[in-house]
């Protein structure tokens, strides 16, 4: 079980401090698929980076299976079973797709045939990709799918995907839903967090957490949370939005 306890995080720019996460507490239970959703800029990716260990919170604690991992490095967190796919994956010049998958598996023994299975699972024709370099020549969607394959291959105790659907075409999206559905069927003893705006993904969640304005605004099942997402309120706080064709927004 993952526990986020009273986590706050702020950034300071040009002498102005802004709170991105404000006293967030939540638990991610074992053997469940939890989806985190909420408006753009609400703090979801920041929370994901704190869970993965890329960022350290200003205050609060992160516990994983009862162990305080707040100050643990990304590498050590990966070692104890936290796998992470970024919203914007990193490119690795000079490293081939097969090498990246072997690194994820933590062994050189991953056969090409096994690697191909994982690439096929994310909708990539393995023979076309296995020897490609993970560099700028890959499209955003291809890179995203390769990164998702690395998380699948790790079979971590906790797998965290930040907007896995971003940049993925409609055909592959269907395939991706099936991948997550399959993971969920074999979830016993592990857990999955998916950050997403997609209704199809919200619908396969055991529970949805709504993060808004840096706070946990609600948690519940799809039927309870979906109406809150559709609530008709201004998306630009403190702005009086007017018709741009008549002169734009006044902030």
Ligand X SMILES: Nc1ncnc2c1ncn2[C@@H]1O[C@H](COP(=O)(O)OP(=O)(O)OP(=O)(O)O)[C@@H](O)[C@H]1O
Question: Given the rule CB under 6 A, which residues bind ligand X?
Answer: 11, 13, 20, 40-46, 87
Question: Which lies closer to ligand X via its Cβ, residue 11 or residue 235?
Answer: 11
Q: How far is the CB of 40 from ligand X (least distance, A)?
A: 3
Q: How far is the CB of 85 from Mg ion (least distance, A)?
A: 12
Q: How far is the CB of 96 from ligand X (least distance, A)?
A: 29
Two tokens at 4?
């986020």
Q: From CA 213, how far away is CA 201, in angstroms rounded?
A: 22
Question: Which lies closer to ligand X via its Cβ, residue 25 or residue 135?
Answer: 25
Touching Mg ion, residues 74-93 (CB under 5 A): 87
Nearest to 228 by CA among 97, 38, 74, 52: 38
Residue 42's binding partner among Mg ion, ligand X, none (Cβ under 5 to 8 angstroms by kind) is: ligand X
Question: Which lies closer to ligand X via its Cβ, residue 192 or residue 209?
Answer: 209
The answer to whether the beta carbons of residues 87 and 162 sit under 8 Å apart is yes
The answer to whether the beta carbons of residues 34 and 180 sit under 8 Å apart is no
Residue 240's binding partner among Mg ion, ligand X, none (Cβ under 5 to 8 angstroms by kind) is: none
Question: Which lies closer to ligand X via its Cβ, residue 40 or residue 75?
Answer: 40
* The one among 37, 45, 150, 172 contacting Mg ion by CB under 5 A: 45
Distances in Å between the alpha carbon of 154 and those of 55, 59, 116, 233?
22, 30, 15, 41
Residue 46's binding partner among Mg ion, ligand X, none (Cβ under 5 to 8 angstroms by kind) is: ligand X
Q: How far is the CB of 123 from ligand X (least distance, A)?
A: 23
Q: From CA 18, how far away is CA 214, in angstroms rounded?
A: 10
Residue 43's binding partner among Mg ion, ligand X, none (Cβ under 5 to 8 angstroms by kind) is: ligand X
Two tokens at 179?
């991948």
Q: How far is the CB of 150 from ligand X (least distance, A)?
A: 20
Report angle CA 23, 24, 29 to the nearest 5 degrees.
Answer: 150
The answer to whether the beta carbons of residues 50 and 21 sit under 8 Å apart is yes
Longest pairwise C-alpha distance within the chain: 64
Nearest to 225 by CA among 242, 245, 205: 205
Residue 13's binding partner among ligand X, Mg ion, none (Cβ under 5 to 8 angstroms by kind) is: ligand X
Q: How far is the CB of 124 from ligand X (least distance, A)?
A: 24
Question: What residues line the site for Mg ion (CB under 5 A)?
Answer: 44-45, 87
């Amino acid at each position: 079980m993952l526990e986020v306890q009273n986590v706050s995080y702020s950034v300071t720019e040009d002498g102005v401090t802004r709170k991105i996460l404000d006293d967030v507490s939540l638990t991610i239970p074992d053997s469940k698929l939890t989806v985190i959703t909420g408006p753009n800029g609400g703090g979801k990716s920041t929370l994901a980076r704190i869970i993965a260990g890329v960022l350290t919170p200003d205050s609060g604690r992160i516990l994983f299976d009862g162990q305080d991992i707040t100050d643990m490095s990304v590498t050590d967190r990966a070692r104890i079973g936290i796998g992470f796919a970024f919203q914007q994956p990193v490119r690795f010049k000079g490293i081939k797709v097969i090498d990246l998958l072997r690194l994820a598996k933590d062994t050189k023994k991953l056969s090409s045939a096994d690697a191909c299975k994982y690439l096929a699972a994310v909708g990539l024709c393995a023979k076309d990709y296995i020897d490609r370099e993970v560099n700028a020549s890959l499209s955003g969607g291809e890179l995203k799918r390769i990164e998702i394959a690395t998380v699948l291959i790790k079979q971590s105790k906790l797998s965290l995907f930040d907007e896995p659907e971003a940049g993925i075409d409609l055909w592959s999206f269907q395939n991706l839903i099936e991948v997550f559905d399959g993971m969920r069927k074999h979830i016993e003893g592990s857990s999955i967090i998916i950050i997403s705006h997609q209704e199809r993904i919200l619908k396969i969640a055991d529970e949805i957490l709504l993060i808004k304005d840096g706070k946990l605004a609600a948690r519940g099942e799809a039927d309870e949370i979906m109406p809150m997402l559709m609530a008709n309120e201004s998306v630009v706080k403190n702005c009086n939005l007017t018709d741009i064709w008549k002169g734009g927004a006044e902030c």
